Amino acid sequence: MERGTFQMMKTVNRTIILNKIRTSKTISRAAIAKLTKLTPPTVSSIVKELIEEGIVQESSLGASSGGRKPMTLLINHDRFYIIGIDAGPITIDGIVTNLSGKIIARESQSLSNVKNNDQFLHTLKSVIVSLLEAVDNTEKVFGIGIAMQGAVDLKTGTALVAPNLGLRDIPIKEELEKNFDIPVKVENDARAMAIGESWFGNDDSYKNIMAINIGRGVGAGIVIDGKLYHGTRDLAGEVGHMTIDINGEVCDCGNKGCLQAYITGPAIVKRILKLEHNESIETGEDVFRLAEAGDTTALRVFQETGRIIGVGLTNLIHVVNPEMIILGGGVMKAEKFILPSVQETIIAHALTENAKSTKVAVTHLGDDATLLGAVALLLVEVFY
């Protein structure tokens, strides 16, 4: 066996042990060896390295099985900080967390006056500078995760198209790493939300999930066994441009009948204005307030939105077959008006009983879902 193979096995074993400690909360060396089938000397050697690096620490004495009480192990969540950024389209929001996702500081700055790439990057850097000032030691910042709207080149960390900002080819990774000398990962915002849900939003019983962000646009991320699925050409998750009516409404992309043309905030406003002229209706929030007041037209539009989302999710269940679908974004703040219709539609149209029972829920992470997803982009680097 070549030396490189030995090194690879060491890395694989390290990952196995680190994740076993993470998912077990607290565990002994002997228990790790038993559960992973690794030899006790291998476990002890790797644990020693992890303790020396400060990632793992020993805790109070564990329960004895007859002999000397073992020391148990747990992740030292305060060993590193991670910066997570949700970039656009209205603001750049940022957080600093520890390895458990505990939020230590926040910062937000407006993008209202941003007209070009340089202005965008200047605002982004300003948010990061403020966040760095909030930590006790900037050398403990493990990395910066950027959740960016639109198409992203994962290899170069370039935002290829940011449609809501009207910007292209923003060299985010290059500029930030040059400026801060900290590793940077850039990902599409909906995919970042998905990995965030995988880490922070549901219990470990769900390994394969899909998270869909419904706001001004519609995007999704697919997580399989804890890792994001990107597809062969990086198009996995573009569910907003799934055609549900070939003769339907014209989408921003130029095609007819895209799911996005019916269920975004602006699309909901457009649909209600076709039914009644009301000058007070300008945003999806306005429609929500009307529904809260019992307006029958607003309620009908939200119910119809739920049915359309349900049609889209039924298609995805048949193709992807996830264990769980998590819905987020501004539109899903109207959950109580939308979700029942979503679930009824899936039950009515899914092919099998198992498909009908696919769990569909609204994110519990709220407005932090994408921010925590940006953090999770770096956690994957630590633990995988």
Domain ranges of the chain: 3-75, 81-194+370-383, 204-366
CB-side exposure of 315: number of CA atoms within 13 Å?
13
Q: Is 182 exposed, middle or buried (0-12, 13-18, 19+ CB in 10 A)?
A: middle
pLDDT value at residue 107: 97
Q: What is the mean pLDDT of residues 206-232?
A: 89
pLDDT at residue number 62: 52
What was the pLDDT predicted at 280? 86
**How far is residue 97's CA from residue 57's CA, in Å, rounded to a whole number?**
19
Report d(CA 170, CA 186) in Å as an integer. Answer: 11
The three-point CA angle 94-327-107 to 5° equals 10
The pLDDT confidence band at residue 151, using thresholds 50, 70 and 90, is confident
Helix spans in the chain (H): 3-24, 29-36, 40-52, 117-132, 172-180, 189-196, 260-263, 265-275, 284-292, 296-319, 335-349, 353-356, 369-383
CATH architecture, range 204-366: 2-Layer Sandwich (3.30)
The confidence band for 362, taking pLDDT boundaries of 50, 70 and 90, is: very high
For residue 157, give the H/E element and its range. Answer: none
Split at pLDDT 50, 70, 90, the class of 277 is confident
- pLDDT at residue number 22: 87
Kindly tell me if the per-residue pLDDT of 60 is higher than 80: no
Using the predicted structure, report yes or no on whether residue 351 has a pLDDT greater than 80. Answer: yes
pLDDT score recorded for residue 1? 36
Q: Which pair of tokens denotes residue 164?
A: 């809501």
At 202 the pLDDT is 64
Query: Tens digits of per-residue pLDDT, 230-256?
Result: 988 888 888 999 999 999 989 888 899
Q: Residue 10: its pLDDT value, please?
A: 61
pLDDT mean over 184-189: 94
189-198 residues labelled b (16+ CB within 10 A) or e (exposed): bbbbbbbbbb
Query: How do residues 18-56 score in pLDDT, each as one tens digit?
Result: 989 988 878 999 999 999 999 999 999 999 999 998 999
Map residue 283 onto helix, strand or coil.
coil
Overall average pLDDT of the 298-325 stretch: 95
| 3-75 CATH pick, 3.20.20.70, 1.10.10.10, 3.50.50.60, 1.20.1250.20 | 1.10.10.10
Could you give the C-alpha distances from 100 to 191, 331, 382, in angstroms and in order?
A: 20, 28, 12
Query: What is the percent of the chain with per-residue pLDDT over 90, rounded to a whole number?
Result: 71
Residues 6+ apart with CB under 8 A from 110: 90, 91, 123
The most distant pair of C-alpha atoms in the chain lies apart, rounded to whole Å, by 78
What phi and psi, each to the nearest 5 degrees, are found at residue 133?
A: -70, -20
Q: How far apart are CA 37 and CA 43, in angstroms?
A: 10
Beta-ladder partners of 146: 85, 186
Query: Torsion angle, CA of 300/303/307/310, rounded to 10 degrees?
Result: 160
Q: What is the pLDDT of residue 253?
A: 84
Is residue 67 very low, low, confident or very high in pLDDT (cuts 50, 70, 90)? low
* Yes or no: domain 81-194+370-383 corresponds to CATH 3.30.420.40: yes
CA dist list (Å): 290 to 62, 99, 264, 334: 57, 41, 17, 11
Q: Which two tokens stand for residue 273?
A: 């204005």
Place 207 in a pLDDT band, splitting at 50, 70 and 90: confident
Q: Which of 147-151, 288-292, 306-310 has the lowest mean pLDDT?
A: 147-151
Looking at residue 61, its pLDDT comes to 60
Q: Is 82 in contact with 378 (CB distance < 8 Å)?
A: yes
Mean pLDDT of the chain: 90
Q: Which two tokens stand for residue 79?
A: 């060993």
Average pLDDT over residues 128-150: 93
